[in-house]
Amino acid sequence: MFSLVKTLAVIGLQFGDEGKGKIVDFLSGHYRIVARYQGGSNAGHTVKVSGNTYKFHLIPSGILQGATCVLGNGMVIDPVQLENEIEMVKEFSPMDKLKISERAHVVFPYHMDRDIFEENIKSSNKVGTTGKGIGPAYEDKYARIGIRIIDLLDKEKLEKKLEMAINLRKNYLTKEYDIKELSKRYNEIAKKFKKNIVDTSSFLIKNIEKGNPVLFEGAQGTHLDVDFGMYPYVTSSNTTIGGAITGLGIPPKYISKVLGVIKAYTTKVGEGPFPTELHNEIGEQILKKGNEYGTTTGRPRRIGWLDLVLVKYSISISGVKYLAISKIDILSGLDEIKVAYAYEYDGKVIKNIPSDIDNIMKIKPLYRTFDGWEFTKDDVKKEIPKNMKKYIDYIEKYTGTKVSIISLGASREDTKVLKTI
């Protein structure tokens, strides 16, 4: 039987889109509280349940399983998107199952405007952002001109804060904003979820101390982390385990274990280096079969082989002991499957990722090749094909972790547990 620790963090170990949403959905039958700690509407989870498809950008997908979902102080929240998602999950979940941090920062239309404007004026080094205003909202937070969820509830105060924030940034905006109107609209939206705006840090601490199981959900992946990712081709938050501590206001001792999620191959959206990227028919085949299009922007994802050098680095930063591998079904039918185990750089073999972007551009992955496998979902539910097992065993050995879950298809039902966490 699958037994689980009381508190577990789920973190992406690649470039985002590892399938965390599906794993969180699967685990939230056990974890009655799911807390998200960073990012905003740049994230996208697609969950399929009983033939229906649900797309989430802010609320953890655990809400579909009736879990209480927390949007932590480390997030940047677009209230318009939040209102839409509340509407979508109404039939699954009473309103009181949603807890929104009063300290989380708000994404306004002027953040999205600036995000797109700044990307457009960069001649080189475009990041390929999602255009959801994430970078500018975090910039305002750290520049101490950000507006927090709690500020939305007082229209007059909100107006003054908006005036300051917009005036300071006006050279980076393409439109004029009617501050009175903006303040009125956002105040009205926030009033709809006023009762859900709480001190989420004390809510979580109280529940953890009572022994209630809590799952911490990271968005994006380690190689998009603002400190540890391939800077500047990163998002503007800490996607790694440190983000969970500051983004939720909980002591480190309250995170018992960390489950890392990887896709059986690698995908990336946006610009920047991608050492194992495939520019061939196999890449095309995986793109189509895996339906690799961004949930947030619809952009086709770039496809590459699994890069274990990147994964191992992510494991060390976040203290990952267990892995979930998603989309292993998509590799079925290929003659051979490759995995990068090292890089060639400057005539030497290295097993770490350089920190400088120009040096990352120069590395060449070294691959180990595995024989492919074929399976039907029913077969694999009983026994894993021999060659797939070899692939999984190699991942475990290389990374020093245990593969606890594999995902064999888009539905919740297509999930196989291999080892206890």
Footprint of ligand IMP (CB under 6 A): 15-17, 42-44, 127-130, 132, 134-135, 219-220, 224, 233, 235-236, 269-270
**CA dist., res. 95 & res. 37, Å (int):** 20
Both tokens assigned to 59: 């609320």
- Please pick, among 45, 57, 105, 111, the residue that the annotation labels catalytic: 45
Q: Which residue bears the tokens 């339906």?
A: 291
Cα-based distances in Å from 108 to 71, 134, 264, 291, 414: 17, 10, 36, 31, 38
> What's the closest the beta carbon of residue 136 comes to ligand IMP, in angstroms?
9
Taking the least distance from each CB to ligand IMP, the nearer of 97 and 301 is 301
Residue 234 or 258 having the CB closest to ligand IMP = 234
Instruction: Give kind and range of the element (H or E) at residue 246.
Output: helix 241-248
Q: How far is the CB of 12 from ligand IMP (least distance, A)?
A: 8
Residue nearest to ligand IMP (CB): 270
For ligand IMP, the closer CB: 57 or 97: 57
Q: Determine the Cα–Cα distance for residues 290 and 328; give it in Å rounded to an integer.
A: 10
Rounded to whole angstroms, the Cα distance separating 339 from 400 reads 16
Beta bridge partners of 197: 100
User: Annotated catalytic, 96?
Assistant: no
Taking phi over 0 as left and psi of -120 to 50 as alpha, with beta for the rest, 35 belongs to beta
307 flagged as catalytic? no
Q: How far is the CB of 310 from ligand IMP (least distance, A)?
A: 14
Question: Least separation, in Å, of the C-beta of 17 and ligand IMP?
Answer: 5
CB 382 to ligand IMP: min, Å: 34
Residue 250: CB atoms within 10 Å: 22
- Report the nearest approach of ligand IMP to the CB of residue 301 (Å): 8
Q: 17 or 85, CB closer to ligand IMP?
A: 17
What residue type is 279 in one-letter code?
H
Integer Cα distance of 271 and 284 in angstroms? 18
Residues pairing with 90 in the sheet: none
Q: Contact at 8 Å (CB) between 52 and 44?
A: no
Contact 222, 314 (CB under 8 A): yes
Distance CA 83, CA 98 (A): 12
Cβ closest to ligand IMP, residue 44 vs residue 247: 44
Q: Which is nearer to ligand IMP, 81 or 212 (CB)?
A: 81
Exactly one of 17, 78, 115, 329 is catalytic; which is it?
A: 17
Using only C-alpha atoms, what is the Rg of the chain? 21
Q: Which residues are known to be catalytic? A: 17, 45
